[in-house]
Amino acid sequence: MMQRTKKTESLSNQMKRKVSSPPKVKKKEYDGDFGSVISTGSTLLDLAISGGRIRGGGLPGGILVEAFGPSGSGKTVLLSEIAGSVQRQGGEIMFHDPEARLNKSFAAIFGLDIKDEDYSRPDTVPEVFQAVRKWKPIGKNKVHGIFADSLAALSTDTEMSKDAGDKMGMRRPKEFSEELRRTCRIIPNKNYLMVCSNQIRQNIGATEYQPQTSTPGGVAMSFYSSLRLQFSNPTKIKITKTIFGKEVSKIIGVDVVISVFKSSIWKPYRNAKVTILFDYGIDDIRQNLQYIKDYTKYKTYTVNGRNLSNTRDEAIQMVETQGLEEELREQVIDLWERIESKFVLERKPKR
């Protein structure tokens, strides 16, 4: 009887310890090193990417990014803006340009200084990823950037040979998979930021069970990428001026919606509207002013309650002449965080 009592007490003590010491809830682990963050050039896109992890958001080191969408939607501009941000923070860049689009005058728009040794026009998939594995940038404790614009233009060794035949269609996805598998650990280990652009293509003969569109190179990029940014709904920006008594209209850029299609660095499915001007790049001021006007009570364009103008172009000029860019950006971040806080899911943690 005594033995049974002791056994009962022992079981009771064990149960008490379990109740008094609940298991720790494992925090969700995300990709990326936020010790240093690279801006995309758009405050709203930075926030959509990682505004919940660090104030102001942006791109961390140690990740692979795929920016995909239709031709002419601004993917090259985004890569150039990010490359310029990397250089301004003291990092080195490697720019692969198989489509040969990035000339020095275009790069200068983004404050991008590309040396001959940092620039290449590769023909094949292995050329891009082998260069990543061999790269030895000098600066320490910096985010170094690798850019490829665009993956759709890359061929395979088989395709480049005379007897390519029908083998190329199957070989390219395999080469992407092989090269990414060999490269994927190097990117986080060396804290590189690798950003690649890719095109959307129509799938002929698509069915109910097959997507109507896809990105060239198979599914390897979508699998290995920590972040996928989808460009959609590009709309032309047209201005009209009266010259010698005649109205003349010109297309000066595009507005595009960039969506976080996949993310393992924070939450997916956040969107940002981005304005891209042909001779300027990403117009952050324009969209920041519009965001404040759209999500506050103000009927005019304002900065911290100070009325600037009824027209956006005049307000942009006032922001630039009065040096209000940073104040405007901080107000947008504050407003975005307030809106985001309304959608926080408050639930008891699972044990």
Mean pLDDT by 10 residues, the chain (351 residues): 49 47 54 94 98 97 96 93 96 94 85 90 95 92 94 80 55 91 95 94 50 65 95 93 94 96 96 95 98 96 96 97 98 98 90 80
Cα separation, 334 vs 343, in Å, equals 15
Instruction: Tell me which residue of 95, 69, 86, 104 sits closest to 254, measured CA to CA.
Output: 69
Structural domain spans, the chain: 33-204+213-232+258-272, 284-342
CATH topology of domain 33-204+213-232+258-272: Rossmann fold (3.40.50)
Cβ(52)–Cβ(266) below 8 Å: yes
What is the pTM assigned to this prediction? 0.86
Cβ(150)–Cβ(199) below 8 Å: yes
Phi, psi at residue 29, to the nearest 5°?
A: -95, 135
Phi, psi at residue 286, to the nearest 5°?
A: -55, -50
Instruction: Tell me which residue of 329, 317, 257, 237 sits closest to 292, measured CA to CA.
Output: 329
| CB contact burial 175-212 (16+ within 10 A = b; e otherwise) | bbbebbeebbeebbeebbbbbbbbbbeeeeeeeeeeee
Alpha-carbon Rg for the chain, nearest whole angstrom, is 25
Using a 10 angstrom Cβ sphere, with 0-12 exposed, 13-18 middle and 19 or more buried, the burial of residue 218 is: middle
Q: How is residue 38 written in tokens?
A: 């690279």
Bridge pairing between strands 227-243 and 63-69: parallel
Determine the distance from the C-alpha atom of residue 192 to the mean position of all C-alpha atoms in its chain, rounded to a whole number: 14
Determine the distance from the C-alpha atom of residue 335 to the mean position of all C-alpha atoms in its chain, rounded to a whole number: 21
Cα separation, 271 vs 285, in Å, equals 17
Greatest pairwise CA separation for the chain in angstroms: 111
For position 161, what pLDDT does the model report? 62
Strands of the sheet containing 227-243, edge to edge, are 119-120, 93-96, 144-148, 192-199, 63-69, 227-243, 246-263, 271-277, 281-282
Instruction: Tell me which residue of 165, 148, 164 sits closest to 199, measured CA to CA.
Output: 148
Cα separation, 186 vs 10, in Å, equals 52
Q: How is residue 195 written in tokens?
A: 């950003």
Question: Does the CA dihedral 240-241-247-248 come out positive or negative?
Answer: negative
Using a 10 angstrom Cβ sphere, with 0-12 exposed, 13-18 middle and 19 or more buried, the burial of residue 54 is: middle
